[in-house]
Amino acid sequence: MNMPAAPNGPKKLSLKENYALLTRGLGWDTSYEDMDKAFPLDKFEGIRIHDWEKWEDPFRLTMDAYWKYQGEKERKLYAIVDAFQQNNGQFNVVDARYINTLKLFLTGVSPLEYAAHRGFAMAGRNFRGTSARIACQMQAIDELRHAQTQAHTISQYNKFFNGLHDPGHMHDRVWYLSVPKSYFEDAMTAGPFEFVTAISFSFEYVLTNLLFMPFMSGAAYNGDMATVTFGFSAQSDESRHMTLGLEVVKFILEQDPANIPIVQRWLDKWFWRGYRLLGLVSMMMDYMLPRRVMSWAEAWEMYFEQNGGALFNDLARYGIRMPKYHDVASMEKHRLSHEVWGIFYNYTHAAAFHTWVPEQAEMEWLASKYPETFDRLYRPRLEYWRAQQEQGKRFYNPTLPMLCQTCQIPMGFTEPDDPTKICYRESDYRDNKFHFCSDGCKDIFDNEPEKYVQSWLPVHQIYQGNCFRPGVDPTAPGFDPLAEVLLYYGYHVGEDGGEYLDSPDRRNWEQWTGKPAVAT
């Protein structure tokens, strides 16, 4: 057939038009069932949506392209992980102290990837707008992949180092892991709009740089190329997630003026919850990485005060102000990591990773990064601990700490205007007293007390006898509750926690690598 070409052939579609045509009509309105019954959860939060069509889809990715793309990405990742394993890459890290950041990450953060997968699947189900549903679906799959690749990447370390053997079991039980776990479960048990504001915006957009930057550059600085590789692999998804976060808040804020105060309250809440969670990252940056990238205070200034400041300056156009207590977080930046490390040094026998006193050269680094606080407030304590340790009296705190009802971190933080005085706040609710580490955490409780009175607080649970293995008799003579709790946590007692210098990890490292236990 010799068909003459049309003189002005059909106009080529733009990528946006192409995507719109490809995905058009994927959703439908229910006819024999009320839409409000099909989507029962997208109104109770008070968010008013008038036009779902205004949702600007930031993904424009179809499933077939997605599989092709992620398939190749994972082939590359696992090729590098294979090479890492064959070359015993785990011994190329700077020293075995570094592995403790991986223990914290794999037990604390990787299960959050899985929680994010569940959360986005639920949020996606509950939005009546098709584009929002698809965006959540894509991200749910991403998060599942991230949980999987992280477990696979770090699992090699489990063959050689202690504490990595059962992250899922630990995540649901261990006291400090209840901090990240409760953070995500708080989001998942909110409505779908609060979930995406909390996770896509406050976490993925506002705070994620403070988590991934230190972790991934920390890995690179300390010779952990397997982790660097999964970092690269995940980052190509993270930008999509961050864009979704921006789109979510813009969409909600533009739909109705009544949404603005609701979003402001969520931003206040999730800023503070995220900031408290990042306390774990602060100690990783300042204490746990043998080769340091930058200090927590520097990271906070760059990623929150500058980048976050620019973001909130832009959000001010909608009538949104900086999150409440951002000034407190900035006041605390010179002490946060020291206070958190102090808590873990106290309780490291009940943790699945090791702690230690920094070496002299490391203390000099800390003094240079924290000239106003380190030598005055924290060095004397570390040197005291070191002296005790040299006399064979390494300090472990044998009591159980009081936890904050909201963030679930032991109450070791100090007054905003006095770094030598522990901060205590409390609220009365239904004839009970509830305790908080800060005004930020107290405000969050006071806003939704009915939710937080239900918190599963690990220390309370121990006292109530809920943290022993089945069949154990707490009334038996010589019963040691703390030792039994560690077994309930699934620890290999004597191997997983405690002082690094006394650990099998340290001995193994020296024997296997011939390198010093503490790199100089």
Partner 1 sequence: MSYRLTIEPLGQTVEAEEGQTMLDACLRAGVWLPHACGHGLCATCKVQIVDGEIENGSASPFALMDFERDEGRALACCATLQSDVTIEADIDEDPDARHVPVRDFIGVVTAHSDLSPTIKGITLELAEDFDFQAGQYIQVHIPHDEAPRAFSLANPPGTGRRIELNVRRVPDGKGTAWLHDDVKVGDPIRFAGPFGRFFVRTSDPKPLIFIAGGSGLSSPRSMILDLLQRGETRVITLIHGARNRSELYYREELAALATAYSNFHYVPALSEPSEACEWSGFSGHAHEAAAAHFGGDFREHRAYLCGPPPMIEACIRTLMQGRLFERDIFTEKFLTSADAAQGVARSPLFRTL
Number of residues that bind partner 1 (CB under 8 A): 36
User: How is residue 96 written in tokens?
Assistant: 């075995």
Nearer to partner 1, 11 or 430 (CB): 11
If binding is defined by CB under 8 A, does position 235 make contact with partner 1?
yes
Cα dihedral: 81, 84, 86, 88 (round 10)? -140
Buried b (16+ CB within 10 A) or exposed e, 181-212: bbbbbbbbebbbbbbbbbbbbbbbbbbbbbbb
Contact present, 341 and 282 (Cβ < 8 Å): no
Residue closer to partner 1 by CB (options 317, 433) is: 317
Provide, rounded to whole angstroms, the least separation between the CB of residue 237 and partner 1: 9
Which helix (H) or strand (E) is 428 found in, with range?
strand 425-429
What's the rounded Cα separation, in Å, for the pair 427 and 152?
44
The CB-of-63 to partner 1 minimum distance in angstroms stands at 16
Check binding of 246 to partner 1 (CB under 8 A). Answer: yes
Match 């038996």 to its residue by tokens.
476
- The stretch among 2-10, 231-239, 263-271, 485-493 that binds partner 1 (CB under 8 A) is 231-239
C-alpha–C-alpha distance, residues 358 and 12, integer Å: 63
Binding of partner 1 by 242 (CB under 8 A) = yes
| Residue 277 binds to partner 1 (criterion: CB under 8 A) | no
* Dist CA 135 CA 87 (whole Å): 39
DSSP H/E element including 425: strand 425-429
Q: Where does this chain touch partner 1 (CB under 8 A) — which range of 22-30, 96-104, 286-294, 301-309?
A: 301-309
Which position among 45, 166, 185, 254 is part of the footprint of partner 1 (CB under 8 A)?
254
Nearer CB in complex with partner 1: 216/363: 216
The enclosing H or E element of 451 equals helix 449-452
User: Looking at 189, 236, 360, 466, which residue binds partner 1 (CB under 8 A)?
Assistant: 236
* Identified binder of partner 1 from the candidate list 40, 257, 380, 474, rule CB under 8 A: 257
Closest CA to 117 of 34, 25, 195: 195
Q: How far is the CB of 58 from partner 1 (least distance, A)?
A: 9
Measure the CA–CA gap between 516 and 520, rounded to whole angstroms.
8
Closest CA to 214 of 292, 302, 107: 292
Distance CA 101, CA 111 (A): 15
Residue 275 tokens, joined: 């900031």
What backbone phi and psi angles, to 5 degrees, belong to 422? -65, 140
Q: Select 228 or 382, whichever has its Cβ closest to partner 1.
A: 228
Q: Which two tokens stand for residue 55?
A: 């949702």
Q: Smallest gap, in angstroms, from Cβ of residue 244 to partner 1?
A: 12
CB of 232 vs partner 1, minimal distance in Å: 5
Question: Shortest gap between Cβ of 317 and partner 1 (angstroms)?
Answer: 5
User: Among 40, 46, 261, 319, which residue interacts with partner 1 (rule: CB under 8 A)?
Assistant: 319
- Pick the piece of the chain touching partner 1 (CB under 8 A) from 128-136, 145-153, 235-243, 401-409: 235-243
Of 246-254, 285-293, 348-356, 359-367: span binding partner 1 (CB under 8 A): 246-254
Per-residue x/- mask for partner 1, residues 62 to 101, rule CB under 8 A?
Answer: ------xx--xx--xx------------------------
Minimum Å distance from CB 243 to partner 1?
7
The rounded distance, in Å, linking the Cα atoms of 356 and 342 is 10
Alpha-carbon radius of gyration of the chain: 25
Q: Applying CB under 8 A, which of residues 26, 38, 310, 483 lies at the interface with partner 1?
A: 310
Nearer to partner 1 among residue 88 and residue 306 (C-beta): 306
Closer of 305 and 502 to partner 1 (Cβ):
305
**What's the min distance (Å) between Cβ of 304 and partner 1?**
12
316 binds partner 1 (CB under 8 A): yes
Pick from 36, 51, 298, 314 the residue near partner 1 by CB under 8 A: 314
Out of 45, 166, 238, 484, the only residue in the binding site for partner 1 (CB under 8 A) is 238
- CA angle at residue 30 from 25 to 35, to 5 degrees? 115
The single-letter DSSP state of residue 426 is E
- Is there binding between residue 232 and partner 1 (CB under 8 A)? yes
* CB of 299 vs partner 1, minimal distance in Å: 17
Report how far apart, in Å, the C-alpha atoms of 303 and of each of 259, 298, 349 are. Answer: 27, 8, 33
Query: Do residues 68 and 126 touch, judged by C-beta distance below 8 A?
Result: no
Please name which of 51, 218, 33, 15 lies closest in space to residue 129, comparing C-alpha atoms. 51
Can you tell me which of 46, 309, 380, 516 binds partner 1, judged by CB under 8 A?
Answer: 309
**Chain residues in the site for partner 1 (CB under 8 A):** 12, 14-16, 60, 68-69, 72-73, 76-77, 232-233, 235-236, 238-240, 242-243, 246, 250, 254, 257, 306-307, 309-311, 313-319
